[in-house]
Chain A
Amino acid sequence: MVKLRLETLQAINVDFFDNLWAEEDLQKLVTPRFGVVPSFESLLSDLRRIGARDLGQVAPDALAQATDTGHD
């Protein structure tokens, strides 16, 4: 499980995003749930699993190929 800390996000905000994000924006990311997104922390956990999947040579934008394959 990824553990998000406000301090980490604040440091990234300063070092990488020129302090673009307000404190209250960052605070939302460590809130268990807000808006349409259940939890940023759980999303990151899901993304770790997705990132570990071996998809072979599948291209990132294979809409036409996928559709064509389906109608072969």
Chain B
Amino acid sequence: MTEWRSIKTIAAALEGGNRSAVEIISDCIAAAERTNPSLRSFITVAADHALAQAAKADTRRKAGRVLGPLDGIPYAAKDMFETRGIRTTGGSRVLENNVPERSAAAICMLEAAGAALIGKTNLHEFAFGATGENRWAGTVVNPHDETRLAGGSSSGSAAAVAAGIVPFALGTDTGGSVRIPAALCGIAGYKPSYGLISLDGVIPYCWSLDHAGVLATSVEDLELVVRQIAKLPSATPPGAAPRVALVNGCENKCDASVHDAFLATKTHIGRRGATFGTIALPDQSEARAVSLTIQLAETLAYHGPNLASARDRFGADMRGGIVMGQFLSAESYVQCKRVLSTYRRSFAQAMQTFEFLLMPTCPITAPEVGTIDVDIAGQTIPLGSALTMFTSFFNLVGAPVIVLPVASPSGGLPVSVQIIGAPGSDAQLFGVALRLESVCREARF
């Protein structure tokens, strides 16, 4: 990672007059186009749009009318965010010629802050999947090792940030879709409390569980962006001796490198004064069934009407999901929504005596392209189930989560932890994450 890829360093170059926004954004566009044949991180590179935005930013700067810390900063957005005049496909052939007449609320807010959208990033079709595989748009590969997956569904957003093409990107997260690719690509990611970042103008996947989110190279950059697109109060400085929740034995469901990195991080945090307690989460297979049932029913409701006219343009995963939603009962959907209410209540209560919950983000590092099953702790698990093992529950309870890369014992592929707060505690969680980020980076083996 080179230093110029953070928002802070790009902003410093702009402020110092060392480089113009047009120069910086031209470099980003060139990097996107150069890397796309292999990484497949972008579906659309919006060069003309981005350069026009950059020219406006340069004009403002010369006139002394800088809009704020994101003025002239390049970024990318998952192709689920509608963008006025720029093709928005949802990663699907169904919408391959869709050019919206309006932009999503988050895009409008970033435009008002002067940020320049350089393109729309690739994803698992309509965000339905955790691997980032996409037969129509191409499968996004991991910038750390191009034989491996970037993770999904916000695969292109994570790869674009990790490859240094843009300093930040927007994503969406329904069962881990910001956090999984952030973890596998070794960057920071944020899923807010449910509803904190507007989903207005974002193609729906599952209204009950969808969250808009941000991916960046650091927590500091995440917070800078989130302050432009959500009402986030000032962060409360964390206590000197935070009380940290753990889920008993979750590290034992991870492969060796994640297991070792998680325990080393926990030990390092403990040495800095944290104390630990445990909480219990609901039975994993039940929570997964609740999540899937709500997702499948809602995605059927949204995409079902397009089936008659576009049946053959949906990919295999989407068609499989939609047909499955058709054969679920209304009673099952309602009962799962009721269970979801109980999860939210019990999780909020469990977190009352803790500042945050610490867990691995994914139980594995980036899998090879084409992986179907993975072996973890003596069990063979479908890849999608493994990737979402520690993430999907926090969509059910609407909790804020920040994922942080941590030092890997082997020094190989990225490993990540997630810190989870009680719903509504986003500002406090940023305070904790800012402090933990430096602790995690210092952890060595």
Contacts and interface: CB of A to CB of B under 8 A. Distances in A.
Contact of B289 (A22, A50, A65, A69): A50
B348 A63 contact: no
Nearest to B130: A36
Interface residues of B, number: 52
B324 interface: yes
| Max chain B C-beta neighbours (<10 A), residue from A20, A43, A61, A65 | A43
B338 A59 contact: yes
Interface stretch (B239-247, B270-278, B314-322, B402-410): B314-322
B381 to A, nearest CB: 9
Q: Which 8 A-B pairs have the closest CB atoms?
A: A70-B348, A66-B344, A46-B289, A62-B341, A60-B337, A36-B384, A35-B317, A25-B323
Interface string B317-342: 10111011011110110111111111
Contacts of A58: 338, 341-342
Contacts of A61: 208, 337, 341
10 contacts: A26-B323, A37-B292, A46-B286, A47-B289, A50-B286, A50-B335, A51-B332, A62-B341, A63-B341, A70-B423
B352 interface: yes
B129 A36 contact: yes
Contacts of A37: 292, 296, 320-321, 324, 384
A53 B331 CA distance: 12
Interface in A19-58: 20-22, 25-26, 28-29, 33-38, 40, 43, 46-47, 49-51, 53, 55, 58
Given A20-B308, A60-B341, A71-B348, 11 more contacts: A25-B319, A28-B323, A35-B128, A35-B129, A36-B384, A47-B289, A47-B332, A51-B332, A55-B338, A58-B338, A65-B341
A12 interface: yes
A36 B317 contact: yes
Contacts, number: 128
Nearest to A25: B323
B444 interface: no
A33 to B, nearest CB: 6
A35 B316 contact: yes
A30 B327 CA distance: 12
A39 to B, nearest CB: 9
B195 to A, nearest CB: 8
Given A22-B311, A38-B385, A60-B341, A53 B348 contact: no
Contacts of A12: 327
Nearest to A61: B337
B335 to A, nearest CB: 5
B415 to A, nearest CB: 23
B398 A63 contact: yes
Interface residues of A, number: 37
Nearest to A69: B345
A50 B319 contact: no
B285 interface: yes
Contacts of A60: 334-335, 337-338, 340-341
Contact of B327 (A29, A35, A50): A29
Nearest to B384: A36
B324 A70 contact: no
B311 A35 contact: no
Contacts of A36: 128-130, 317, 321, 382, 384-385
A48 to B, nearest CB: 9
A15 B326 CA distance: 13
Given A38-B382, A70-B352, A46 B285 contact: yes
Contacts of B416: none
A68 to B, nearest CB: 9
Given A9-B327, A43-B293, A49-B286, A67 B320 contact: no
A55 to B, nearest CB: 5
B326 to A, nearest CB: 7
Contacts of A28: 319-320, 323-324
A55 B342 contact: yes
B66 interface: no
Contacts of B286: 46, 49-50
Interface in B175-201: 194
The interface centre, meaning the residue of A22, A35, A58 with most chain B CB atoms within 10 A of its CB, is A35
A37 B321 CA distance: 8
B353 to A, nearest CB: 12
Contact of A62 (B296, B316, B331, B344): B344
A55 B288 CA distance: 18
A28 to B, nearest CB: 5
Given A25-B319, A46-B286, A67-B424, A59 B327 contact: no
Given A63-B344, A70-B351, A50 B339 contact: yes
